[in-house]
Homo-oligomer: A and B are copies of this chain.
Amino acid sequence: MQSGSSTTGTLSGNGAAHSFATLELCANTCLPEACLNCSVRHLAICAALNEEELQELSSIVKTVSLGAHDTVLSEGDPADYLYNVTAGVLQLYKLLPDGRRQITGFLFAGDFVGIALNDAYAYSAEAVTPVKLCRFSRSKLEGMLDKFPYLERRLLNVASNELVQAQDQMLLLGRKNAKEKLCSFLLDLSSRSERRGSDPQLISLPMSRSDIGDYLGLTTETVSRNFTQLKTKGAIQLRENGHVYLPDLDVLHDLSEEA
């Protein structure tokens, strides 16, 4: 079992190793030992903490459960809380005055929400599926940063990682065509699914075609048409309950970069 206090940390992302063997399905609660038993601890910022520190973190954490389509936070609101997703799927988005929407990210178990500018959230967040979140008071967490330097290092890693993802997404939005966008998206879900311990070839798509369109800079119809084309071509198989089987990741990779 890995002890958080030996985390090394670097300016790059992925500084912490992921060596937990089993994932319990229990969610975090307010009990003192809650964080110790957290099923996504190895994925979350909490991986930077040792058992004693986790105990202290438990004291400022509250678990929140939300239903699908519930709002977690809204752009412009005072950024009083930070969140970690422990179960379910969240989407972050920004709106233009006329209602056009850009989804900037889908968040899964272990992902972190709440990086802000000037004490106000820079985006809105809503539940795609029912979700469970760990909620931290931002001011209390900031207080803990001084005591637990590895936590700050870990936050920097998280932010660096998100920055790299954001740059990939800019390349996708600015320079890829619809088919490449969709394949890139499926591959991204695949690798994130794998990191959480699931089969990379069978991914879950709980979000609607419209959500996918707003993430990829496309319309619902274009997303749907491209799903059909990939299916016809044998590059994907649409299964029940919004699952997609990817018979050949290499083929999808090729489709994600060249027309």
- On A, residues with C-beta under 8 Å from B are 10-14, 79, 82, 92, 94, 96-98, 100-102, 104, 114-119, 122-123, 138, 141-142, 145-146, 149, 152-153, 155-156, 159-164, 166-171, 173-176, 214-217, 257-258
A92 — which chain B residues lie within 8 A by C-beta? 167
30 pairs across A/B with beta carbons < 8 Å? A11-B114, A11-B145, A11-B155, A12-B118, A12-B119, A13-B116, A13-B117, A13-B118, A96-B175, A96-B176, A97-B258, A98-B257, A102-B175, A104-B171, A115-B160, A116-B160, A117-B164, A122-B163, A122-B164, A149-B152, A152-B152, A152-B153, A152-B156, A156-B156, A156-B159, A159-B159, A163-B166, A173-B173, A174-B216, A175-B214
Beta-carbon contact of A175 and B101 below 8 Å: yes
What CA separation (Å) do A97 and B256 show in the bound complex?
A: 11
A152 — which chain B residues lie within 8 A by C-beta? 149, 152-153, 156
